[in-house]
Amino acid sequence: MPLMNRIRDFLSSPQGRKITDRGRRMASDPRNQQRAKGFLARLRKR
C-alpha cells in the first residue's frame, strides 16, 4: 500500500480527525502563528 494511501486512511479515521482538529485549533492561536513566523525567519537567514 503506497504511503499516501496509508496517510489518507489514517486522516479519515476517528483518531486522525481528532489530530487534525487539534492541529487546526493550534494553528489558529496567535501565539503559535508568531512562533511559526519566527521559526521560518530563522530558517531563511541560514
Written as one string, the DSSP assignment of 27-43 is HT-HHHHHHHHHHHHHH
C-alpha to C-alpha distance for 11 and 19, rounded to whole angstroms: 8
What's the pTM value of the predicted model, to 2 decimals? 0.62
Number of domains in the chain: 1
For residue 1, what pLDDT is reported? 74
Q: Under DSSP, is residue 28 helix (H, G, I), strand (E, B) or coil?
A: coil
pLDDT digits (tens, 9 = 90+) for 5-43: 999 999 999 999 999 999 999 999 999 999 999 999 999
Q: Which domain holds residue 12?
A: 3-45
The whole-number pLDDT of residue 46 equals 74
